[in-house]
Chains A and B, each alone.
Chain A
Amino acid sequence: MGVGEFFTTKLDEAIGWARKYSIFQYPFVTACCGMEYMATACSHYDVDRFGAGLPRFSPRQADVLFVVGTISQKMAPVLKRVYDQMTEPKWVVAFGVCTCTGGFYDDYATVMGIDTIIPVDVYIPGCPPRPESVLDGLMKLQEKIAQGRQRY
C-alpha cells in the first residue's frame, strides 16, 4: 500500500459522504405506496433531514429512482426508458412489495418484481411500508452509496 492509495481512498470516502447526503430522488409513483412516500417526505417523518428532501421529477436531474407502487406490464417500457435516461451514478429503490416481487398481484398484467426489468439496489417491503421502514431502507441505500468507488 502506497501513499497514493491513502489519498484515493480518502477521496472515495469524501465523494461517497457527499453523495449519500445529497440524494435527488425521482419518485416514480404509480399507486397506493405513493401515500406512504408522501407521508415519509413530509414534516412528521421528515426525509429532508437525510438530505433527500428535494424530489426531481425528471430522470436527467435525479440520481435515485424510487419506484413506488405497482408496475403494470403496460408501464414497464416507460419505467425502463426512465431508468435508461438517468445518468450515472444511479441507484434504484423498490418501494413496496408490488415492486419487490409483484405483491399480492399474481396475474397476467403485472410485472412480478421490477428487478426482472431493471437492476435494484434496495428493496423496501411492505404494503405499504411504514415510514420507519422507508427511512430504514433509505439509510441502507446511503450505506451503499457511501461504499461507491471511483475508477481512477
Chain B
Amino acid sequence: MDGPAILDRLRARFGPRILGTHAHRGDATALVERAAIREVLGHCREEPELAFEVLMDLTAVDYLNLPGAEGRPRFEVVYHLYSLTHRHRVRLKVPVDAADPVVDSAVPLWPIADWFEREVWDMFGIRFAGHPDLRRLLMYEEFGGHPLRKDYPITRRQPLIGPKV
C-alpha cells in the first residue's frame, strides 16, 4: 500500500482524531490526537492490511522558539512504523503541550518502546503513562534537567562535577 492509501485508511477509520496528514517527499505522515494515539497504534499493528510489526523509532521534537510555530503545542512525539509483510512505512506525530507532557506508553504493543520512551523522558521530559520503569537512559541519575529541550543552557554546570576549581 502506498503512503496516501495508508493515510486514507487511517482517516476513514479514525475521522476527526487524525488532526492532519501529509505525504511530503513520499513520507506518509499523520498527526494524531493525543488521547487517540494508543488506539491508532494498536490499529496499525493489528489490522492485516496495515500490519506494522516494527516500531522503527520513537522520538520527540521541541518546537520552542521556532519561527512560525507559535500557538502550536511545544512538543511532538514522533513514531516511525514499518511493516515487514507489506514493506510500507508511516510516521505518526502526536502534539504534546508543555503544560501537561504525558502520552500513553507504546510498551504493551512493542517492547522496544521501553528504551525509546526512556530516552524521550531523559532528553525531553515527556512522561509516558503506563511505562513499567520510566527512568533516565543516557544521562546519569544525578543529572538535573532535560538536555535536548531548547531552553537547556549548554554551559550549565551539573552538581556531580562541582563548581570550577
Give the interface residue-count category, chain B. 10 to 19
Residues of A in contact (CB 8 Å), total 14
**Which residues of chain B are near A77, meaning CB under 8 Å?**
160-161
Q: Among B152, B160, B165, point to the contact of A108 (Cβ < 8 A).
A: B152
Q: Among A74, A107, A118, point to the contact of B165 (Cβ < 8 A).
A: A118
A73 touching B156 in the complex, CB below 8 Å, given contacts A111-B161, A116-B161, A117-B162? no
Interface set, chain B 116-165, CB cutoff 8 A to A: 139-140, 143, 147, 152, 154, 156, 158, 160-162, 164-165
Is A74 touching B160 in the complex (CB atoms < 8 A)?
A: yes
Interface set, chain B 19-67, CB cutoff 8 A to A: none
- Chain B proximity of A101: nearest CB distance (Å): 13
Minimum CB distance partner of B160 in chain A: A73
Q: Among B143, B147, B154, B160, point to the contact of A76 (Cβ < 8 A).
A: B160
Is B154 touching A107 in the complex (CB atoms < 8 A)?
A: yes
Q: How distant is the Cα of A111 from the Cα of B165 in the complex, in angstroms? A: 12
Is B165 touching A116 in the complex (CB atoms < 8 A)?
A: yes
Q: How distant is the Cα of A108 from the Cα of B140 in the complex, in angstroms? A: 12
**A106 located at the interface, meaning its Cβ lies under 8 Å from any Cβ of chain B in the complex:** yes
Minimum CB distance partner of A109 in chain B: B139
Q: How distant is the Cα of A106 from the Cα of B164 in the complex, in angstroms? A: 16
- Chain A proximity of B144: nearest CB distance (Å): 11
Q: How distant is the Cα of A109 from the Cα of B152 in the complex, in angstroms? A: 12
**Which residues of chain B are near A108, meaning CB under 8 Å?**
139, 147, 152, 154, 156
**A51 located at the interface, meaning its Cβ lies under 8 Å from any Cβ of chain B in the complex:** no
A73 touching B165 in the complex, CB below 8 Å, given contacts A107-B154, A108-B156, A109-B147? no
- Chain B proximity of A151: nearest CB distance (Å): 23
Q: How distant is the Cα of A111 from the Cα of B161 in the complex, in angstroms? A: 8
Is A73 touching B154 in the complex (CB atoms < 8 A)?
A: no
**Which residues of chain A are near B147, meaning CB under 8 Å?**
107-109
What are the 4 closest A-B residue pairs judged by CB atoms, nearest first? A108-B147, A76-B161, A116-B164, A74-B140
Residues of A bordering B, CB below 8 Å: 73-74, 76-77, 106-109, 111, 115-119
Please name 10 further chain A to chain B contacts, defined as beta carbons within 8 Å, in addition to the given A73-B143, A108-B154, A111-B161, sorted by A numbering.
Answer: A73-B158, A73-B160, A74-B140, A106-B154, A107-B147, A108-B152, A116-B161, A116-B164, A116-B165, A117-B165
7 contacts between A and B (CB under 8 A): A74-B160, A77-B160, A107-B154, A108-B147, A115-B165, A116-B161, A116-B164
